[in-house]
Chain A
Amino acid sequence: MLEIKDLNVFYGAIHALKGISLTVEEGELVSLIGANGAGKTTTLHAISGLIPSAPGSVVSLDGADLRKTPANKIISMGLAHVPEGRHVFARMTVEENLRMGAYILRDQKQIASGLELVYTHFPRLKERRRQLAGTLSGGEQQMLATGRALMTEPKILLMDEPSMGLSPLLVKEIFAIIETLHKSGITILLVEQNAKMALAVADRAYVLETGKISMSGSAKELAEDDRVRKAYLGA
């Protein structure tokens, strides 16, 4: 479904991504793990067009060339991105945030069904729907950012560090939600520093090291791999 081939990104003179290739098939949950600064967020930003990728890079979704699509049209292609640090609209209410997630939709029925879907997955957001997003806890903001991305019922969801800054208990809760979303048939590309959790929920995974994919395989294999265990799982 999502195909990345030979993706190169430069920040000025810095070669941040050095020819990354990865794929995500329909219905899969794929994790991209790696240390701080390895280029995980850069990869997601390049996919959704927030930063430009170098000529020759391939980013395609169901055969459509995403590199030719302006960043604000990516969501219309069926790709939704939950950014690192949530990026909820703090001065808007929870429900206004969710409605912004459906900005590209004009059909009120579709928007209502999106809201219903999100509220089924996140009953807490329904309780707080009139509250300003800036007053939510970190975990709730993560739920809101995720819910907002689900409003258009995208083909694929990119999630960037959903566990960042959350307490261990909330991390478990967020990952339980990710698993539920995955089981309901949503395709997910997950970027995480918390390699243990990311490998536990994923079907397959890639390890990113200083801008290059160093390992890939089924999540189970990687979780048992000695190098991965030493470098990322603290074993």
Chain B
Amino acid sequence: MSTFIQTVIVGLRLGSVYALIALGYTMVYGIIRLINFAHGDFIMVGGYTIIFTVPLALALGLPAWAAVLAAIAVCALVGMGTEIIAYRPVRKKGTNMSALITAIAMSLFLENLAQAIPAIGPNPKVADQMFTAGGFRIGSVTFEYTTVITIVISAVIMVVLYMFTQKTRLGRAMRCVSEDKAAATLMGINVNHTIILTFAIGSALAAVAALMYMAQYPRIYTTLGSDLGIKAFVSAVLGGIGIIPGAVLGGFVVGLFESFTTSYISSSLSDAVVFLILIVVLLLKPAGIMGKNVGEKV
């Protein structure tokens, strides 16, 4: 029984990291119908920013995790920059295909750029301890602080994000732009600003995900983002890409399956099982668990 509960907890922890990343994929897809392949690499950018700013945080007398604030700022800037410099011009002139290729190119560019920076280089780096080590026990189940913090913070962020999209003026503007850009423009919404805001939020979430990931696995390398990104992307598709609660659900489904496969079958099969689930779900529900397979009324 304690193995089962432990497995669920690990699944929730993995799931909350995937969900945070999947939100970035799904929000950008929702608003410009683009799979932002560079999104995974924003996690890498966030990870290195954290590594480099932890000493600063400690020098200021702050806890190590405060470095995430710098990562949030850097990731948001990189995300907005990617949209303004790379995606928007291509979207204006080209097709969906050219935008997609640009996204892949941005991903490779960020990875190679990171390797080319001497302070980063090709070898993995090890991060400091992010949160208080250790944990507490309830019965025979151990709760690591890192795990609890990861799950709680992710949950809070997801609720706040959901409230933001539902209840605030900017959040509503985002939903309008994702549904219908021409109508949004006629309402007085600045579509380009709204898209940039979406990139900023999605990329900031990637920075938080980087912190959560590093708190557990403190080794980071330049292709970390694409490895993590692919599972988060699977989560977004699984839940129904473009749908915010779908990304969260997909993240937890992937996290739990991965955790259970690792505990009860074999850790080397965990990725295979995740993709198997994806294939099965897409065969049964091509638009994802929460997606609707209906064409929109024109």
Interface size on A, residues (CB 8 A): 29
Scan residues 268-298 of chain B and give those whose CB is less than 8 A from a CB of chain A. 296-298
Q: A90-B296, A90-B297, A96-B172 are in contact. Are A83 and B183 (CB under 8 A)?
A: yes
Chain B residues contacting A76 (CB-CB under 8 Å) are: 188
- Interface flag for A227 (CB, 8 Å): no
- Interface flag for B169 (CB, 8 Å): yes
Query: How far apart are the CA atoms of A89 and B179 in the complex, in Å?
Result: 6
Scan residues 37-79 of chain A and give those whose CB is less than 8 A from a CB of chain B. 48, 50, 70-76
**Which of B175, B186, B191, B297 contacts A48 (CB under 8 A)?**
B186
Q: Are A72 and B296 in contact (CB under 8 A)?
A: no
Q: Are B182 and A87 in contact (CB under 8 A)?
A: yes
Q: Are A80 and B297 in contact (CB under 8 A)?
A: no
Least distance between A104 CB and chain B CB atoms (Å): 4
Interface size on B, residues (CB 8 A): 19
Q: Are A89 and B190 in contact (CB under 8 A)?
A: no
- Interface flag for A1 (CB, 8 Å): no
Query: How far apart are the CA atoms of A88 and B297 in the complex, in Å?
Result: 10
Least distance between A38 CB and chain B CB atoms (Å): 20
Q: Are B179 and A101 in contact (CB under 8 A)?
A: no
Among A73, A90, A100, A104, the one with the most B-chain Cβ atoms within 10 Å of its Cβ is A100
Chain A residues contacting B179 (CB-CB under 8 Å) are: 89-92
Chain B residues contacting A19 (CB-CB under 8 Å) are: none
**Which of A72, A90, A134, A149 contacts B185 (CB under 8 A)?**
A72
**Which of A74, A87, A101 contacts B180 (CB under 8 A)?**
A87
B178's nearest neighbour on chain A, judged by CB, is: A91
**Which of B169, B175, B189, B297 contacts A72 (CB under 8 A)?**
B189
Among B179, B188, B190, the one with the most A-chain Cβ atoms within 10 Å of its Cβ is B188
A76's nearest neighbour on chain B, judged by CB, is: B188
Query: How far apart are the CA atoms of A73 and B191 in the complex, in Å?
Result: 11
Chain B interface mostly: helix
Scan residues 97-112 of chain A and give those whose CB is less than 8 A from a CB of chain B. 99-101, 103-104
Query: How far apart are the CA atoms of A80 and B75 in the complex, in Å?
Result: 38
B194's nearest neighbour on chain A, judged by CB, is: A72
Chain A residues contacting B173 (CB-CB under 8 Å) are: 103
- Interface flag for A85 (CB, 8 Å): yes
Q: A91-B175, A96-B172, A134-B297 are in contact. Are A103 and B183 (CB under 8 A)?
A: no
Scan residues 150-202 of chain B and give those whose CB is less than 8 A from a CB of chain A. 169, 172-173, 175-176, 179-180, 182-183, 185-191
Q: Are B182 and A100 in contact (CB under 8 A)?
A: no
Q: A72-B190, A87-B180, A90-B179 are in contact. Are A100 and B185 (CB under 8 A)?
A: no
Query: How far apart are the CA atoms of A134 and B185 in the complex, in Å?
Result: 19
Query: How far apart are the CA atoms of A75 and B175 in the complex, in Å?
Result: 19
- Interface flag for A155 (CB, 8 Å): no
- Interface flag for A81 (CB, 8 Å): yes
Query: How far apart are the CA atoms of A75 and B182 in the complex, in Å?
Result: 13
Chain B residues contacting A134 (CB-CB under 8 Å) are: 296-297
Query: How far apart are the CA atoms of A71 and B190 in the complex, in Å?
Result: 9
Q: A72-B191, A103-B169, A134-B297 are in contact. Are A89 and B176 (CB under 8 A)?
A: yes
Q: A85-B298, A87-B180, A134-B297 are in contact. Are A92 and B188 (CB under 8 A)?
A: no
Q: Are A75 and B188 in contact (CB under 8 A)?
A: yes
A82's nearest neighbour on chain B, judged by CB, is: B186
Chain B residues contacting A104 (CB-CB under 8 Å) are: 187-188
Q: Are B186 and A83 in contact (CB under 8 A)?
A: yes
A89's nearest neighbour on chain B, judged by CB, is: B179
Query: How far apart are the CA atoms of A85 and B180 in the complex, in Å?
Result: 12
Q: Are B188 and A81 in contact (CB under 8 A)?
A: no
Binary contact track A110-153/B, C-beta < 8 Å → 1, others 0: 00000000000000000000000010000001000000110000
15 more A-B residue pairs beyond the given contacts A91-B175, A92-B175, A99-B172, with a C-beta to C-beta distance below 8 A: A48-B186, A50-B182, A50-B185, A72-B185, A72-B189, A83-B186, A85-B298, A87-B182, A89-B175, A89-B176, A92-B179, A100-B176, A100-B187, A103-B172, A103-B187
Could you give 28 example pairs across A and B, Cβ below 8 Å? A50-B186, A70-B190, A71-B185, A71-B186, A72-B187, A72-B188, A72-B189, A72-B191, A73-B188, A80-B186, A83-B182, A83-B183, A83-B186, A87-B180, A87-B183, A89-B176, A90-B296, A90-B297, A91-B175, A91-B179, A92-B175, A99-B172, A103-B169, A103-B188, A134-B296, A134-B297, A148-B187, A149-B186
Give me the 10 closest cross-chain CB pairs, A-B, nearest first. A87-B183, A104-B188, A75-B188, A103-B187, A71-B185, A72-B185, A103-B188, A89-B179, A72-B190, A81-B186
Chain B residues packing against A (C-beta within 8 Å): 169, 172-173, 175-176, 179-180, 182-183, 185-191, 296-298
